[in-house]
Structure 1
Amino acid sequence: MSAADEILDIVDENDTVIGQSPRGEAYAKGLRHRCVFIQARDAEGRIFVHRRTPAKLVFPSLFDMFVGGVVGAGESYDDAALREAEEELGVSGLPRPEYLFKFLYDDGAGRTWWSSVYEVRCDLPVSPQVEEVAWHDFLPEDEVLRRLREWEWVPDGLDAYERLRAYRSMG
C-alpha cells in the first residue's frame, strides 16, 4: 500500500470524525485530517532535525524540527505519535511521547489539519528511513533558532515550533 492509499479519518473544525478518505485524496481535495508532531531530543537536550527527501508527498526537500505524520483512520493521536516517532527515528522501544497541546493548522490555501504536539527523549541510536529522511542530526536549540532564517522549513512544523516555544514560555 502506498502512502497515498493510507486511509485517514476526515474531521470537522471541532476535530470530530465525519468520514474517511485515502490520504492522496485528502491532500488533493484539502480535506481536514489529523497529524502528530513529535519533538525528539537526545540526552543532551539537542533537537532532532532532518531534511525530507525529494520524493515526499508534502513539503519535499524541506527541513523539519519534528518527526511525525498523519493519524490513520481509527488511530488515537497518542498511538500515532509513538508509531510515527519510532518509524521516522528508526528505533523501537521509545518511551511514549508526552502530549503537550493541540491546534488547528491552516495555511490559508486549503491545507488544514488538527495537529497534536508531543515531545519525547530519544537516547537510542537513530536510523531514519532513507525514503523519508535525506539528512539528519541532533542540533542545540540555539542552532535551530539560527537556522530558522537560513533553511527552508516545512510550514506546518514551523507553525508548531513557534506555538511550542510560546507554550514553553508560559509554563
Structure 2
Amino acid sequence: MSAAEEILDVVDEQDRVVGQAPRGEVYARGLIHRCVFVRVRDAEGRFFVHRRTPTKLVFPSMYDMFVGGVVGAGESYDEAALREAEEELGVRGLPRPEHLFTFLYDSAGVAGKWWSAVYEVRCDLPVNPQAEEVAWHAFLTEEELAGRLGDWAWVPDGLAAHERLREHLGR
C-alpha cells in the first residue's frame, strides 16, 4: 500500500473522529486529521534533526527537528508517537515518548488542518534512519539548531510545534 492509500481517521475541530479516508484524499480535500511530532534527544542532550526525502507527500526535501507523522485509523497518539519514532530513527526499544501538549495546526491550504500532538523522547541507541523518510540527519546542540533556524528550509508545521514547545517550556 502506498502512503497515499493509508487510511486515516478524519476528525473535527474538537478532535473527535467523524470518519475515515485514504491519506491522499484527506490531503486533497483538506480534511482534519491527526499527526504526532516527537522531539528526540540523545544522551548528550542534542536534538535529532533531519532533511525529509524528496518523495514525501507533504513538505518534501525540507528540514525537520521532529520525527513523526500521521496517526493511522484507530491508532492512539501515544501508539503513533512510539511507532513513528522507532520507524524513522531505525531503532527498537525506545522508551515511551512523553506527551507534552496538542494543538490544531492550519497549513494555510497546503494540506488542510491537523491535530498535532507534541512529544519528547531520549534515544541512547545508535540510530539508522529510515531511508524512505530521511535523506540526511545529525544530532545538533540547542545552539547549533538555533543558528540554522533562519538558514534552512524547515517544515512549517515543525516550526510551529517548535515555537509552541519553547512557549510551553517558558523559553
TM above 0.5, yes or no, is yes
* Structure 1 Cα separation of the partners of residues 112 and 148 of structure 2: 25
Amino acid paired to 1:115 = S
Runs (4+) of structure 1 exceeding 3 A deviation are none
User: What secondary structure, in the 3-state scheme, does the structure 1 residue paired with 2:170 have?
Assistant: helix
Amino acid paired to 1:56 = K
* Structure 1 Cα separation of the partners of residues 153 and 162 of structure 2: 14
Amino acid paired to 2:137 = H
Corresponding residue of 1:34: 34
User: What secondary structure, in the 3-state scheme, does the structure 2 residue paired with 1:157 have?
Assistant: helix
Point out where structure 1 has 5 or more consecutive residues left out of the alignment: none
In the TM superposition, 1:77-92 aligns within 5 A as 77-92=77-92
Corresponding residue of 1:64: 64
Shift of 1:111: 1.8
* Structure 2 Cα separation of the partners of residues 163 and 31 of structure 1: 23
Amino acid paired to 2:116 = S
* Structure 2 Cα separation of the partners of residues 107 and 129 of structure 1: 25
How many equivalent pairs are there? 170
Shift of 1:85: 0.3
What do the CA deviations read for 1:113-157 (whole angstroms, capped 9, x no partner)? 000000000000000011111100000011111100000000000
Shift of 1:9: 0.2
Shift of 1:108: 2.5
Point out where structure 2 has 5 or more consecutive residues left out of the alignment: none
Amino acid paired to 1:111 = G
* Length-normalised TM-score, structure 1: 0.98
What do the CA deviations read for 1:65-110 (whole angstroms, capped 9, x no partner)? 0000000000000000000000000000000000000000012226
Q: What percent of counterpart residues are identical?
A: 74
Aligned CA-pair RMSD: 0.9
Corresponding residue of 2:154: 153
Corresponding residue of 2:112: 111
